[in-house]
Amino acid sequence: MFPKIKEASVPFLTTEQMIEVDRAMIEDYGILLIQMMENAGRNLAHLGRARFLSGDPSGKRVAVLAGVGGNGGGALVCARRLKNWGASVEVFVTKRHEDFTDIPGHQLRITRSMNIPSGIGAPPAEAQFDLVVDGIIGYSLKGAPYGTAADMIRWANRQSAPVLALDAPSGVDSSSGAAIDPVIDAAATMTLALPKEGLRAQSVRARVGELYLADISVPPELYAEPALRLQASAIFTQSEVVQLV
């Protein structure tokens, strides 16, 4: 379905290194957050369609769980794409629109312009879906999820539908690999640019599920710069999404 590459052939990043990648993308290369977010959400939708919706989202019910930051913004792009491809999508957010940061808030406005139903908090207990997309918390996790975010994680873990996590399952510390309760149990995780160090910790591999890596258009030479000193070329020559094995 997707090309498979060995984990050992790809560098893994700490949270601090991923922050430097984001900084360099924006400040040194002029590749803006909204562009990276679009790439992330498009690839997440593509993975969801191919891996969990039998290649055809038509009529399938998808719940997209989104936080107020960049992770939520990528999930909202995924919601828009799956809606365009025929899925019946519902969006559930952790806070009011006014609490979203600028670019994820822009993505939320787009979903509302498309009349994608949305609400604050977890879906109703009786709701049934074919796929749940986890965009609640990304690599910026600080402490245990609480409040609405925690309620949404617990709801997702009670569902029979597979959960597809963006970048890292919500509740997993992407540097240490610690699982901070409550934490998403994902059927698959699509991480971005390069995989995060915590995702290969044995203690969370079952929660990560199948591990995929998606291209968000980071120039390979960025990784080789003095702040990172990494070699990461030719990962996406065959596909914008690859599976790490």
- pLDDT for 19-64, tens place per residue? 999 999 999 999 999 999 999 999 999 999 999 999 999 999 999 9
Cβ–Cβ contacts within 10 Å for residue 33, how many? 16
Residue among 135, 105, 121, 122 at smallest CA distance from 44: 135
pLDDT in the model for residue 164 = 99
Angle at 138 between CA 98 and CA 57, to 5 degrees: 85
Q: What is the pLDDT of residue 84?
A: 98
- For residues 211 and 205, give the distance between their C-alpha atoms in angstroms, rounded to a whole number: 9
Assign domain 4-244 to its CATH architecture.
3-Layer(aba) Sandwich (3.40)
Instruction: Provide CB contacts within 8 A for 148, sequence distance 6+.
Output: 94, 95, 120, 121, 122
Kindly list the strands in the beta sheet with 131-135, ordered across the sheet, starting from the edge strand earlier in the chain.
Answer: 4-5, 241-244, 210-214, 188-192, 163-166, 131-135, 61-66, 88-93, 118-120
pLDDT, residue 169, reads 97
Pick the closest to residue 36 from 210, 167, 160, 148 (CA basis).
167
| Calculated CA dihedral for residues 206, 19, 70, 28, nearest 10 degrees | -140
- pLDDT value, residue 1: 86
- Residue type (1 letter), 208: V
Nearest to 145, CA basis, from 156, 137, 133, 155: 137
Determine the pLDDT at residue 238.
96
Which residues in the chain come in under a pLDDT of 70?
Answer: none
Residue 172 in tokens: 């997993």
pTM of the model: 0.97
Query: Tokens 């997440």 sit at which residue?
Result: 44
